[in-house]
Structure 1
Amino acid sequence: MDFQAGQTLLFNKPKTWSSFDVVKKIRRVVRVKKVGHAGTLDPLATGLLIICTGKSTKTIPGIQDAEKEYVVDFQLGATTASYDLESEPEHFIDASHLTEDAIKDAMKAFVGAVQQTPPIFSAIKVNGKRAYESARAGKKIELKSRTIFIERFELLDYDAEKKVGKAVVVCSKGTYIRSLVHDLGQALNVGAYMAELVRTRIGPHKLENAWEIADFAEEFSPKNP
């Protein structure tokens, strides 16, 4: 592969790695300075992360604009400040009365063009500072809602005993799945937070075709020219 001329590479981002961690790792492997990712994944999320090298970095904006697909596991009956497991669950509410049909009915309201407020634990800049930096410092911040588009929000499985659901989401650029889960919990009046998230597709690019980082490093690292 000619990484300097430009390559579009698909990776399965490991849990706890930041998107920039992956960029740094791939830059060391391919020995090209111009390396960037096409759409951030939170450290606690896994799945498809697209890395572009060399002249292919010019295609990043187009990739970022593409439709995304995710599979999300969510916990009903509690909330967290970060809307995921970066912070501790709180505000516990009995969710034993909920049925699959009730959850599916609530999901229907989120399909189409909807207003969504990003989580305060996000990389959005407020007054020149990342929102998560202010949130972790205990400062109060307000983020503006914005219009996103949800093409599909479908329940795949629900464990009534554990109050844990699994859903597929197909959505536009700028959608926060954590916020979607939080808003679903509010609609159901029991609260909810994201437990696991896997990005499975960006436009035509699918997770099933992605490299594991260790395998890519083994194949293309300097010791194997």
Structure 2
Amino acid sequence: MSQEQLQGVLCMKKPPEFTSFDVIGKLRGILHMRRLGHTGTLDPMATGVLPILVGRATRACDILPDQDKTYRAQVRFGWETDTEDIWGTRTAAYPEMHVTREALEAALPQFVGEISQIPPMYSAVSVEGRRLYDLARKGLVVERPARQVQVYEIVLESFDETSQEAVLSVSCGKGTYIRTLLADLGHVLGGGAVMTALCRTRASGFTLEQSYTFDEVTEMCRMGTLGAHLVPTDRLFASLPELRFSAEQTQRYCNGVKLPLEQVAGVVPEHTEYRAYGADGGFLGIAQAEPETGLLRVGKNFS
């Protein structure tokens, strides 16, 4: 198989000062491939896991079932900036603010579960067709509707009462702004807070330990071993039940023919999405059940 025919997930360790699109651009130069995508944007100064979709795996961008993420965030209490992180312009200081471990631990449960967040002005959220960061760079502040996001767990990894700095591990759902969560935490504790570092340690089921640097990927290409380091595309859909077709079903399915649900082994009444595999065990893609018609159709093809 040529490198152009490869597909799967290449987990990258995003370095600081790179946007997610910068990572794609550099990888295109290393891999000599155009068909690349990513599963979730990271701010330029953030580091950590950035799953890159290679080849036909890019078709998964808009249908990923697992969009949960885990971050290790460092926060400093006592001041605020316009970007809610250390790289912005200071807008307020709270010299009398002093956070104790007890107060911090007591405040954290307020930010677990379904919580409301107002997106920061320096974000890619659109309001009336305009990106907030474009407005913020012009010095404008506009009303932003609050959004509901899901935070599953916050663990206090360390706290230095003298420097007023803490390290938190945050597991959350799609659309959660960690710097906003930290800024809101600062308000609850009687002042302000800014994020001073952020590392994504898990994304779409992939971890930092599974991720590679640019130099490592360059060496893989030199050795011709890139394919061996790609995570199979079907791992993106590990949370979905699987269906395995007979040879006849495989041929019909690959030709776009809908299959009667009653004739497909493994169909579960409460599920409408499945991982579909052919008679040879190869991953075909995502199949969609239509309970109202009693048929199974091709959802997204990866073969």
TM-score by length of 2: 0.70
Amino acid at match of 2:190: N
Q: How does 1:46-85 map to 2 (within 5 A)?
A: 46-63=47-64, 65-85=66-86
139-148 vs 46-55, which moves further: 139-148
CA offset digits 1:113-138 (Å, max 9, x no partner): 11111111001122322211110111
TM-score by length of 1: 0.93
- Percent identity between matched residues is 34
Structure 1 CA distance for aligned equivalents of residues 83 and 164 of structure 2: 19
Structure 1 CA distance for aligned equivalents of residues 121 and 159 of structure 2: 28
CA offset digits 1:148-184 (Å, max 9, x no partner): 1110112111111110110000000110001100110
**Equivalent residues of 2:49, 2:203 under 8 A apart:** yes
Higher relative contact order (CA 8 A, sep 6+): 1
Structure 2 CA distance for aligned equivalents of residues 123 and 64 of structure 1: 22
Structure 2 CA distance for aligned equivalents of residues 220 and 61 of structure 1: 28
Report deviation, 1:7: 1.9
Q: What stretches of structure 1 of length at least 5 have no aligned partner? A: none
Q: What stretches of structure 2 of length at least 5 have no aligned partner? A: 227-303
The residue number in structure 2 matching 1:12 is 13
The residue number in structure 2 matching 1:91 is 92
SS at match of 1:215: helix
The residue number in structure 2 matching 1:35 is 36
**Equivalent residues of 1:107, 1:153 under 8 A apart:** yes
Q: How does 1:1-225 map to 2 (within 5 A)?
A: 2-63=3-64, 65-94=66-95, 97-220=98-221
**Equivalent residues of 1:11, 1:210 under 8 A apart:** yes
**Equivalent residues of 2:98, 2:164 under 8 A apart:** no
CA offset digits 1:77-125 (Å, max 9, x no partner): 0011100123123311135532111001111101101111111100112
Report deviation, 1:65: 4.4
Report deviation, 1:204: 2.1
CA offset digits 1:171-198 (Å, max 9, x no partner): 0011000110011011111100100000
Report deviation, 1:64: 7.4
Amino acid at match of 1:156: E
Structure 1 CA distance for aligned equivalents of residues 211 and 113 of structure 2: 29
Report deviation, 1:220: 1.5
Report deviation, 1:221: 5.8
SS at match of 2:167: strand
136-145 vs 46-55, which moves further: 136-145
Structure 2 CA distance for aligned equivalents of residues 83 and 213 of structure 1: 29
**How many residues are treated as equivalent by the alignment?**
225
Report deviation, 1:60: 2.3
Coordinate RMSD, CA, aligned: 2.1
Structure 2 CA distance for aligned equivalents of residues 139 and 65 of structure 1: 35
CA offset digits 1:57-77 (Å, max 9, x no partner): 112234474210000000100
**Equivalent residues of 1:96, 1:160 under 8 A apart:** no
Cα distance change of structure 1 residues 3 and 151 upon mapping to structure 2, 3 Å threshold? farther
Amino acid at match of 1:102: A
